[in-house]
Structure 1
Amino acid sequence: MNADQGSPSGHSDEVDLIVRAWSEEIPGLDVEPMHVFSRLHRLARHVQDMRRDAFAEHGLALWQFDVLAALRRAGDPFELTPGRLVTETRVSSGTMTNRIDRLAERGLVVRRGSPGDRRIVLVRLTDAGTAAVDGAVTDLVARERELLETLAAGGADDLAELLRSMLSRYAGTPTPAEEPDA
Structure 2
Amino acid sequence: MPPASDEVDRIVDAWSRERPDLDFAPLQVLSRVGRLSKHLERARRAAFDAAGLEPWEFDVLSALRRAGSPSQLSPKALLQQTLVSSGTMTNRIDRLVQRSLVERRADPGDGRGILVVMTRLGRERVDGAIRLLLDEEAALLAGLSPADQERLAGLLRQLSLGFDGAPEVEAPET
The question of a shared fold, defined as TM-score above 0.5 by the shorter chain, is answered with yes
Q: Distance in 2 between matches of 1:10 and 1:119?
A: 62
> Of residues 26, 48, 51 in structure 2, which corresponds to 1:55?
48
Q: Distance in 2 between matches of 1:169 and 1:111?
A: 36
Give the structure 2 partner of residue 132 of structure 1. Answer: 125
Is 1:25 equivalent to 2:4 in the alignment?
A: no
Shift of 1:168: 2.0
What CA distance in whole angstroms lies between the structure 1 residues aligned with 2:85 and 2:69?
25
Give, in whole Å, the separation in 2 of the partners of 1:123 and 1:42.
Answer: 36
- Taking structure 1 as the reference length, the TM-score comes to 0.88
**Distance in 2 (alpha carbons) for counterparts of 1:21 and 1:168:** 32
Structure 2: tracts of 5 or more residues without a match: none
Name the counterpart of 2:105. 112
Alpha-carbon separation, structure 2, partners of 1:116 and 1:168: 35
Count of residues paired in the alignment = 171
- Consecutive unaligned residues in structure 1, runs of 5 or more: 1-7
User: Which of residues 115, 123, 135 in structure 2 aligns to 1:122?
Assistant: 115
Cα root mean square deviation, aligned: 1.5
State, as a whole percentage, how many aligned pairs show the same letter. Answer: 50
Tell me if structure 2 keeps the 8 A contact 1:108–1:129: yes
Matched ranges for 1:32-51 at <5 A: 32-51=25-44
Render the CA deviation track for 1:73-113: whole Å, top value 9, x for unaligned: 11111111111111111111111111111111110000000
Q: Is 1:145 equivalent to 2:141 in the alignment? A: no
Distance in structure 2 (CA, Å) of the matches to 1:128 and 1:152: 36
Alignment of 1:75 with 2:52, yes or no, is no
> What is the TM-score with the length of structure 2 in the denominator?
0.92
Native 8 Å contact 1:89 1:177 kept in 2: no
d(CA) in 1 for partners of 2:161 and 2:110?
Answer: 39
Amino acid at match of 1:77: P
AA matched with 2:98:
E
Residue of 144, 148, 154 corresponding to 1:161: 154
Shift of 1:136: 0.1
**Change in CA separation of 1:174 and 1:138 when aligned onto 2, cut-off 3 Å:** farther
How many Å apart are 1:149 and its aligned residue? 1.6
Name segments (4+ residues, structure 1) moved above 6 Å.
none
